Chains A and B, each alone.
Chain A
Amino acid sequence: MKCLQKNDGMSLVEVLIAVSLLSMVFISASYATSISLSRSKYNQDRILATRYGEELEEWMRGEKESNWSTFVARSAASPGTTYCFSNTTLSWPSSGNCGTTFGLSNRFKREVKLVGTGTQVDVEITVQWRDASRTYSVPVDTVYVLWD
């Protein structure tokens, strides 16, 4: 009888401690997972944005190589001319920035600013995207010079 009296299950304090320990483990695990989930989304967007920037840079170099005079005519002295490349197939749009439209693949905004006249043009490419009301951007800057 004395032995059975001791067998009284868990006390409230014990249950509380166990539950709070368990919930701490669960909460930290889900927090860490969701943080790394948003980071990998960011990484993925950044890889794409960098590619879009480099793609435009290479295309610009092609434009410069094929005809310098038409290329430099699209540029202007500081503050320069801005273009918005919101199509995946590249062709010259009319000048002007993208405004608030993130039109490239419905997620990105790709703008380029051409500054300079004569034999040197500074090219500043900016690719931006939004994620959960924050705006991220990847800059790609380069300088094109007429050699010959």
Chain B
Amino acid sequence: MKKNKGFTLIESLIVVGVIAIIIPALFALFFSHLRAQSKVYLLQQVKQNGDNALNVIETLIKENTISIHSGSPPTSGNQVCTDASSTYSSTMYFLDRSGSYFNFAVASNKIASSSSVSSTVNLTSDKVAVTSFALSCAQGSSFSDPIVSVSFTVSQANSVNRPDESATLQYQTKMKLRPD
């Protein structure tokens, strides 16, 4: 009977107390890790979508456009940015070499690329929201080609509760048309 001791109440209380300190610390570490991961994931998505949209817009405008128009269908009457010091910053239609035209616009927080020959394509996904999308064109001097500037802001689509978790990136670039 003397040997039958096991743990006393005090001993088991100490063990439970130590575990009660360690487990919350571990969980806190784990959850801060999860939060950091989700932030990286959001940022990655925002950057991926923004890079893709900028790339597509830049390539289409730089490689295909021969002139910029303020209305559709493009005619010589509604061509803009044709002479020195003329600027334009509203809805634009880009005429390409084959005679068809395309434009970019923001619809329900996505950049949509529509063209006269194919259906509308979204350049960004549902996961991100695009705001302050702006296109403008200008011509430096009489004999140079027009320069198109594009700028937009990409952020994650769903609003987050914590302000430090929001991922927002700004995009802007300028490109010179190569009509010939």
Q: Chain A interface (Cβ within 8 Å of chain B)? A: 1, 4-5, 7-9, 26, 29-30, 33-34, 36-37, 40-41, 43-44, 47-48, 50-51, 54-55, 58-59, 61-63, 65-67, 88, 90
Name 18 A/B residue pairs within 8 A (Cβ), A-sorted: A5-B1, A8-B3, A8-B4, A9-B7, A29-B26, A30-B25, A33-B29, A33-B33, A37-B36, A40-B40, A44-B36, A44-B39, A48-B43, A50-B47, A59-B173, A61-B174, A62-B147, A66-B138
Do most interface residues of chain A lie in helix, strand or loop, or is the interface mixed? helix
A-B contact count (CB 8 A): 85
Q: Is the CB of B33 within 8 A of A47?
A: no
**B1 contacts which of A4, A66, A88 (Cβ < 8 Å)?**
A4
Which residues in B have their C-beta under 8 angstroms from that of A51?
47, 169
Q: How far is the CA of A7 from the CA of B6 in the complex (A)?
A: 8
In the bound complex, do residue B40 and residue A36 qualify as a contact, i.e. CB atoms below 8 Å apart? no
With beta carbons under 8 angstroms apart, the residue of A9, A43, A50, A90 that contacts B6 is A9
State which of B29, B33, B147 has its C-beta within 8 Å of the C-beta of A65: B147
> Contact partner of A58 among B32, B43, B173, CB < 8 A?
B173
**Are A66 and B47 in touch, CB under 8 angstroms?**
no
Our pick among B39, B47, B170, B176 for the contact of A88 (Cβ within 8 Å) is B170
A5 and B3 within 8 A (CB): yes
Give the residue of B6, B36, B170, B173 whose beta carbon is less than 8 angstroms from that of A40: B36
Contacting residues, chain B, for A30 (C-beta < 8 A) = 25-26, 29
The listed residue (A36, A48, A58) touching B33 by CB distance below 8 A is A36
Q: CA–CA, A34 to B26, complex, Å? A: 10
**Tally of chain B residues near chain A (CB < 8 A):** 34
Q: Contact residues of B with A, CB < 8 Å?
A: 1, 3-7, 22, 25-26, 29-30, 32-33, 36-37, 39-40, 43-44, 47, 51, 54, 138, 140, 147, 149, 169-176
Q: Among B5, B169, B172, point to the contact of A9 (Cβ < 8 A).
A: B5
Contacts of A43 in B (CB 8 A): 40
Q: A61-B174, A62-B173 are in contact. Are A37 and B32 (CB under 8 A)?
A: yes
Report whether A59 and B172 are in contact in the complex, using a CB–CB cutoff of 8 Å. Answer: yes
**B1 CB contacts on chain A under 8 angstroms:** 1, 4-5
Q: A26-B22, A61-B173, A62-B173 are in contact. List 12 more A-B contacts (CB 8 A).
A: A26-B26, A34-B33, A40-B36, A43-B40, A44-B36, A47-B47, A50-B47, A55-B171, A59-B173, A63-B174, A65-B175, A88-B170
